[in-house]
Structure 1
């Protein structure tokens, strides 16, 4: 193969990579923010705005400078050395198979592991190209993935319960829960920032060798960062909370840094409803009030008003709008389609019994945890963008490298250009904005009732599980961890009816069929493409 041959594979690879990153945003990012939106800590629009920055910056700034072409040692790229173009075709088929499954699962609100999707696709390509003997079926390969189906949710659930239960018994159920919660807030800030700082430093900060530092040094730096954040929360955030939540003052978020210099700001009195003008008739009568005048000679009776005539006039006025105005309105409606959906499921009749089985706590105390939950969601999203972007960027980087050089990099790693990271980061954000609501609706309150304290515990438990498992080598998936954490929150109510077991069953089934379904799609595509005739006679 010569350099710059098979440009059509490279072009289709770009499109497929964008689609795969789109599916990552619609599924992985959505389940990262599902608990924050479901608990009410963030609105759907706020979550999308935050994720747009954290996911893109995480992918672009902290995206790995190299991405493994063949994930987890499942298949060696040395097998493609004699025919580099087959590696290009294989990565293309893997991207198509992964994108197809992840987008389809996202459309029906099923959280799946995007990492396992791309691995399953590569397994399918490997079997199609070299047979089953080319795949690592042992614990170093496929067996580790199967183990993660059980290890991830169980471990995350246990860690989440360890975080939530002390919070429930010592803070939420306390007779003076609000004051106790305010005193405990700095402790929670310390734990959250410690875990977040350790996670980011351990994974590697750009342009540094932080990931090569001794664990002791990383722990020391993390404790220093956590101490600074705790001091900030004690001197600024706690006084702000006392005045806003306890004192019921009209404070805004930007008063946080200058809270010691802000004078007392009482809440404005509630506005009284304005009375109807004299001489008008109630709307319930069926007559438009503005059609009635005070003067007897100018009175227009209800029977003289023809609503259909006015509707016709309104339709005519709409039809007279310029075409570009109609186009802008149409584009706006479709652009905001994904962020205007109700994903909290609070008024869902099917979920009423499940939500009622969960114990409710003081709203003001729960409000304290909403800020912590936003922080944990941002950290999880930033880390997700930096790590899982490789699921879409890695294969296209491999295609690009072979297309540019004409040879296979036998190390199994290919440099990821900045434009690939930027492209993938943008597609991830687009997937969340347009299709992420499906997974959020199913995973958040669709599994159990979530409040800010419950959502915070689930997110922190997930982050801690992933961090610890990465350190000791346990196979875990972020998607599986958040599902297990949310289920554990439901069980902490002491009532198995507080959990939607049907939804959990569908989630587990989707994890089991991810590898065979994606592998079958990618394998069949590769078999078709690699055995196609070169010329048509």
Structure 2
């Protein structure tokens, strides 16, 4: 093989990696924001707007600098040294297999691990190319992934319960829950910002100076960030909440920064209903009368004789067509963020939601801000880490295409333009297709409120962070599912959980590895055994 040979594999690989990143956005990012949207802390449009920036910036600024998906001991790439073009084809088939399964799963609302999908696809290619002996089946490879199916949800559920139950019994269940909540909010901000800062620096910043920091330095920086956030919440945010929620004053979010200088602003009275006057009735000129016959106003009748010229009529027709086309484009562009994903009016879930105890709305409102913080930082860290699922294989293809050799050490850098391209694709996947998973995972499993969603997201982040430190295999997708399940169980009733949906989720985890592997393995077998042209 020579440099810049097999350009078609590189070109198709770009398309396949974009498709895989699209699936990551539709599935992984969607299930990350499912609890925020389902609890009402964010609307679907707001979640998409936040994720567009946090996911893209995380992928671009802190994206993985190495091809992590092929250096983790799953596939022995050194066995392709003599035939680098075969590894190119294998990575292409892996991307296609992974993208096909993740997009299909997203369409069905199945929350799957995109990391396990690309790993399963690479396993399929490895078995087809080199046999089962080329795969690490022990705990350092496949067995570790299978273990995560059970470790991830259980560990995350336990951590989430530890966070949520004290909140429920000491704040939410108390008769004066609102006052207790306002007093406790700086403490929650301290805990949230401490964990989020540590998670972001320690796990969410590969390729930066954070990787060389000692654990003591990271802890010190995290405590400094948490102290600053707590001081702000104590002196400004808590004051704003007291006036906004307790006093019902007409103050805006931007008043937080100058709340001590804002005078009392009484709540605006509700606007009176507008009566149907003669002026309103006169606007209906040219409509139908009570008998259903077309009525024409005197003003319109006076213009009947003034017919438009054919040129004017053609111009009006063209304008009408353009307006209709623009409306159609707008409809399809925004279709994905106009869906109802909260499932609060779903009759099939009514019994599940009724089994969950409801708390004071004003107290729940306090936790919305905390949940937004956890969602933003988790999304930023997600973009920086999981973009490697699509970036790793295409970086390998690009490196082989450019230099005609296999990078045995797995240190092939991911170019910035690839990270930017895949970051945009992740955003498109969430905005246009993410509502399928959000609709299933959030209130589709149990009833979520801001306090419940906050505990689930914080529990997930803390679990992933701790497990990464001690070497336990976990998946973010599995963790958020386990956290939401624990929230349902904390209601004290098995009826507060949609067990059919949970079974559906667990089955999707089991199917991910073999299906992605089967698709990529069959595709690779088809490509590698194709007859050679004699022309």
TM-score, normalised by the number of residues in structure 1: 0.93
Asked if 1 retains the 8 angstrom alpha-carbon contact of 2:75 and 2:122, the reply is yes
Cα distance per residue 1:136-174 (max 9 Å; x no partner): 000000000000000000000000000000000000001
Cα distance between partner residues in 1 of 2:483 and 2:315: 54
Secondary structure of 1:346's aligned partner: coil
CA shift, 1:208, in A, is 4.2
Cα distance per residue 1:452-496 (max 9 Å; x no partner): 000000000000000000000000000000000001100000000
Q: Within 5 A, what are the aligned runs for 1:251-400?
A: 251-277=251-277, 290=284, 302-303=290-291, 305-306=293-294, 321-400=319-398
Q: Within 5 A, what are the aligned runs for 1:127-166?
A: 127-166=127-166
CA shift, 1:6, in A, is 0.2
- Which residue does the alignment assign to 2:459? 461
CA shift, 1:279, in A, is 10
Secondary structure of 1:302's aligned partner: coil
CA shift, 1:305, in A, is 3.1
Cα distance between partner residues in 2 of 1:357 and 1:481: 23
Q: Within 5 A, what are the aligned runs for 1:398-477?
A: 398-477=396-475
Give yes or no for the alignment of 1:186 onto 2:174. Answer: no
Asked if 2 retains the 8 angstrom alpha-carbon contact of 1:57 and 1:385, the reply is yes
Give yes or no for the alignment of 1:237 onto 2:237. Answer: yes
Cα distance between partner residues in 1 of 2:207 and 2:139: 34
Cα distance between partner residues in 1 of 2:320 and 2:361: 49
Asked if 2 retains the 8 angstrom alpha-carbon contact of 1:61 and 1:206, the reply is no
Q: CA separation of 1:207/1:464 partners in 2, compared to 1, >3 Å: closer, same or farther?
A: closer
Asked if 2 retains the 8 angstrom alpha-carbon contact of 1:48 and 1:432, the reply is yes
Cα distance between partner residues in 1 of 2:18 and 2:505: 25
Give yes or no for the alignment of 1:177 onto 2:170. Answer: no
- Which residue does the alignment assign to 1:507? 505
- Which residue does the alignment assign to 1:535? 533
TM-score, normalised by the number of residues in structure 2: 0.94
Q: Within 5 A, what are the aligned runs for 1:199-218?
A: 199-203=199-203, 205=205, 208-218=208-218
- Which residue does the alignment assign to 1:284? none
Cα distance between partner residues in 2 of 1:422 and 1:225: 28
Asked if 2 retains the 8 angstrom alpha-carbon contact of 1:280 and 1:292, the reply is no
CA shift, 1:405, in A, is 0.1
Asked if 1 retains the 8 angstrom alpha-carbon contact of 2:71 and 2:410, the reply is no
- Which residue does the alignment assign to 1:297? none
Cα distance between partner residues in 2 of 1:279 and 1:472: 73
Cα distance per residue 1:251-270 (max 9 Å; x no partner): 11111111111111111111
Cα distance between partner residues in 2 of 1:277 and 1:456: 49
- Which residue does the alignment assign to 1:14? 14
Asked if 2 retains the 8 angstrom alpha-carbon contact of 1:71 and 1:119, the reply is no
- Which residue does the alignment assign to 1:481? 479
CA shift, 1:326, in A, is 2.2
- Which residue does the alignment assign to 1:110? 110
Asked if 1 retains the 8 angstrom alpha-carbon contact of 2:63 and 2:207, the reply is no
Cα distance per residue 1:399-444 (max 9 Å; x no partner): 0000000001110231000000000100000000000000000000
Cα distance between partner residues in 1 of 2:508 and 2:61: 32
RMSD (Å) for aligned C-alpha atoms:
2.2
Cα distance between partner residues in 2 of 1:321 and 1:98: 44
- Which residue does the alignment assign to 1:72? 72
Cα distance between partner residues in 2 of 1:495 and 1:144: 33
Deviates more, 1:51-60 or 1:317-326: 317-326
Cα distance between partner residues in 2 of 1:3 and 1:451: 56
Cα distance per residue 1:177-232 (max 9 Å; x no partner): 00000011011100111011111221364774222222122111111111111001
Cα distance between partner residues in 2 of 1:302 and 1:205: 69
Secondary structure of 2:67's aligned partner: strand
Cα distance between partner residues in 2 of 1:78 and 1:278: 84
Deviates more, 1:5-14 or 1:408-417: 408-417
Secondary structure of 1:257's aligned partner: helix
Deviates more, 1:271-280 or 1:65-74: 271-280
CA shift, 1:325, in A, is 2.3
Asked if 1 retains the 8 angstrom alpha-carbon contact of 2:62 and 2:208, the reply is no
- Which residue does the alignment assign to 1:225? 225
- Which residue does the alignment assign to 1:39? 39
Cα distance per residue 1:386-406 (max 9 Å; x no partner): 000000011000000000000
Cα distance between partner residues in 1 of 2:104 and 2:248: 47
Cα distance between partner residues in 1 of 2:427 and 2:110: 19
**Paired positions, count:** 520
CA shift, 1:531, in A, is 1.2
Q: CA separation of 1:414/1:280 partners in 2, compared to 1, >3 Å: closer, same or farther?
A: closer
Secondary structure of 1:104's aligned partner: helix
